[in-house]
Amino acid sequence: MTLSKLFMVARWEFTEKIRTKAFVVALFVTPLISVSFMVIPMLLINKENDETKTYAIYDATEQLTKTVIDSLHSKYILKDGKPMYDIVPAVGTNIDKVITEYKQRILNEEFEGIFIIPQNIVKERKAMYYSTNVASEQDISNVSSEIEGVFIDNQLRGNNVDIYKFKEITRSVKLDRIKITRDGKSEGSDFLKQYISVFFALFLIFFLISSTGQALVRSLLEEKSNRIMEVLLSSCSARELMFGKLLGLGGLGLVQGGVWGLLAIIGGSQFGMQVALTAHLPITLLFAALGYMFYASLMIGIGSTVTTEQEAQNITGYIILLAVMPLVLIISFLANPNGTLAKVLTYIPFLTPSVMPARIAVQTPELWEILLSIALMIVSIIGVIYISSKIFTVGILSYGKRLTLAEVWHLLKAKG
Amino acid sequence: MLVINNLSKTFRGGIHAVQNLSFEVNDRRICGILGPNGAGKTTTIRMILNIIQPDAGSITLNNHPIAEESKNVLGYLPEERGLYKKSTIENTLLYFASLKQVPPAASRKMIEPWLERFNLGGMGKRKVEELSKGNQQKIQFIAAVIHNPDLLILDEPFSGLDPLNQILFKEVVMDLRKQGKAIIFCTHQLESAETICDDILLINKGQAVLNGSLESIKQKFTRNTLLVEFEGDGTFIHQLPIVERAIIEHGKAEIELHQGVSTNMLIQELIPNLQIVNLQKSAPSLLSIFTSVVGAENLSSDFLSQTQKELK
């Protein structure tokens, strides 16, 4: 193999692809889309909170309304100083008549809804909320917990219990989770942060594989269909071509992963989450790189046999499905990260790159397990490259008809 | 100089793509490889390019067996037209030259003269997709010769070109021959093969059917042949007892007479039935030679129809 030719192919693949619109778009649009999925709903929620919401309250006990209103006004205030909740007492002697009247007024959008406190609340412990929208969780629970608080205070007072003493006694107990790691240190575990960093790594692998994988298969198909492939092969060997392409692709992956990682760190710190900056970052990145090499080698071998756009889409689809599988599986084994299921999944090369970092983040496995899985990945990558290069040498010269499994099997048995 | 000796290749499934093929391409010579689709041309070319390995036989270029290093002194223009559309002309040419291990400084110097030769001077920074099809074909041709190869393999280099550009391409190919290159020229177009080839190799079903210099082949097959142009229905010519063989088309016939039959005797037979427009004695065309060697039934029908179309 002539290394200089290999590097020429790698340089061409890298410099020509990095300039394409598709690459630049994928580089910046992909994170933009994923971020907007998180940010847009948050913005919309904040937007709604800019306006005062008006509720009605009907208090059959005639003891709670004023205190509830005062306490809500002092507790929840909008940015412009106005109260977040405007509570209007409903008047009437017959509860059913009130409900009928306010149902109409709510439909006319005078109120968001009405809270009904029935006479028998002391016994039944039940209040009602009528609204066209009973799912605006935050607002409803803000108001209802205020009603509950005032009601209980009233009860305590009525039974001559010392309110302050009662509150002191019933103060809740907080649970601190501290993770023990193999190296003997115990660290305050912010579970959410680690969980997110695992998901971040999985998404990184998934996006890298799907975007570069598709680009790779498509460019192979183009080179085959317009016979540039033959000109290339009249200049360099199939192996030089394949390893050059893998190397160029690796460079593109590095750029893509690097940019996305950087954006995630910057974005994460803006939202107060040091997403990627956990202690497990290096090992997560190592597995991401191994996983990327594994899938890229697989893709180049299988991709070389493709002869139509249709086949290209099918094949990349299947491989991407394999790559996304861990995202689904991970939920089922995180509860028991050292269980049999997790252990078995760790040693399936398709899943190792995402399952292992996930386990490390949740409950660090034994060192030998980590080393074994790294070794397994390296052996698998070499194996896949070996098989792929055999398929590649023949696949890139086959037109019109895809290699059959029997032909591939014959190739693998052949020496050389 | 390329020497091919007893070359054979059998694919899985027992298809004998090439069988015991031997021929030579000398420096300063253009060797036309002709034959119908599936005759084994592509397989032969791929073996010369060291893309696939022969089962038996040898290929030597300048007295060295073909190996990976030989690729640096080979130039190849495939039949299908294809380039990286989004890349610039300059980058494309630099890339293909770099794969032949030409230093960038050296290939950079070659680019502009070549572009000027093809009337594309100063267009190096343009993207390939901005060029017309014919101009893209010129770039592809330059990519095949920019590294100054010893052996050049051209597969249908003139197809799809307008007449002016065909002349330009032919001039360039002739120049390359003058510079001492050995050139293989694959084509269906027997007429253009006749105008530029020094040697001819006809393959059919993986075997050489005819091989030698164009001159010697023509001499060997020169017979009592006449080209007649006429008005009227000429199909009766086949039945004339003085005719050995005839290729008859609308208003045109290539007629081979039996030994000893004079031109006057033919004219006497034609005059009552046809209006003769033109008549000349001729060397046999490649097509008539081919059909006489292998018999029309042995040449696949698409080759015949293709070549006959081009004769019109």
| Burial (0-12, 13-18, 19+ Cβ within 10 Å), B103 | exposed
Token pair listed for B94: 């630099």
| Burial (0-12, 13-18, 19+ Cβ within 10 Å), A96 | exposed
A91 with A131, same domain: the answer is yes
Right CATH for B2-218 from 3.20.20.70, 3.10.129.10, 3.40.228.10, 3.40.50.300: 3.40.50.300
Residue A26 in any domain: the answer is no
Domain termination residue (choose one: A164, A197, A215): A164
Contacts of A370-375 with CB under 8 Å at 24 or more apart are A370/A283, A372/A347, A373/A346, A373/A347, A374/A286, A374/A287, A374/A290
The alpha helices in A171-273, defined as continuous H runs, are 191-225, 228-233, 238-270
A98 with A202, same domain: the answer is no
Residue A124 in any domain: the answer is yes
- Search chain B and give the residue with CA nearest A22: B86
Residue A280 in any domain: the answer is yes
- Inter-CA distances, A92 with A30, A58, A105, A335, Å: 57, 8, 15, 54
Instruction: Report residues of chain A scoring pLDDT below 70.
Output: 38, 41-42, 45-49, 179-198, 200-201, 268-280, 331, 333-335, 400-403, 414-416
Contacts of B100 in chain A (CB under 8 A): 235
A227 with A135, same domain: the answer is no
Residue A32 in any domain: the answer is no
For chain A, the residues whose C-beta falls within 8 A of a C-beta of chain B are: 2, 4-5, 8-9, 12, 16, 19-20, 223, 225-228, 230-237, 397, 407, 410
A242 with A154, same domain: the answer is no
Tell whether the model's pLDDT for residue B302 goes beyond 70: no
Question: Could you say which of A4, A12, A20 has the minimum Cβ distance to residue B95?
Answer: A12
pLDDT tens digits for B8-17? 999 877 788 9
Judge contact between B151 and B157, C-beta under 8 A.
Answer: no
What pLDDT does residue A51 have? 80
A245 with A336, same domain: the answer is yes
Pairwise CB contact (< 8 Å): A234 & B52? no
A125 with A240, same domain: the answer is no
Token pair listed for A15: 């410099």
What pLDDT does residue B311 have? 45
- Search chain B and give the residue with CA nearest A4: B101
A263 with A401, same domain: the answer is yes
* Every domain of chain B and the residues it spans: 2-218, 219-311
Segments forming the whole domain that contains residue A246: 189-413
pLDDT tens digits for B126-141? 999 999 999 999 999 9
- Search chain B and give the residue with CA nearest A230: B78
A86 with A235, same domain: the answer is no
pLDDT tens digits for B260-286? 788 888 888 898 988 999 988 877 777
Main-chain phi, psi angles of A327, to 5 degrees: -60, -35
Judge contact between A215 and A223, C-beta under 8 A.
Answer: no
A202 with A156, same domain: the answer is no
Q: Which fold has domain B219-311?
A: Alpha-Beta Plaits (3.30.70)
Judge contact between B94 and B108, C-beta under 8 A.
Answer: yes
Token pair listed for A159: 């039974």
Count of structural domains within chain A: 2
What pLDDT does residue A182 have? 60
pTM score of the predicted model: 0.74
Judge contact between B152 and B145, C-beta under 8 A.
Answer: yes
**ipTM of this predicted structure:** 0.81
Pairwise CB contact (< 8 Å): B80 & A235? no
What's the average model confidence in pLDDT over B63-90? Answer: 92
Pairwise CB contact (< 8 Å): B78 & A20? no
Shortest Cα–Cα distance, A6 to chain B (Å): 9
Shortest Cα–Cα distance, B13 to chain A (Å): 11
Question: Could you say which of B51, B79, B82 has the minimum Cβ distance to residue A234?
Answer: B51
pLDDT tens digits for A118-170? 988 888 889 999 998 877 778 888 899 999 989 998 888 888 888 888 888 88
Strand (E) or helix (H) holding B9:
strand B2-11
Tell whether the model's pLDDT for residue B312 goes beyond 50: no
Residue A324 in any domain: the answer is yes
What pLDDT does residue A30 have? 76
| B2-218 and B219-311 share one fold | no
- Chain A and chain B share a number of CB contacts under 8 A equal to 64
> DSSP letters along A325-375, please?
HHHHHHHHHHTSTTSHHHHHHHTSTTTHHHHHHHHHHHSPPPHHHHHHHHH
What pLDDT does residue A158 have? 87
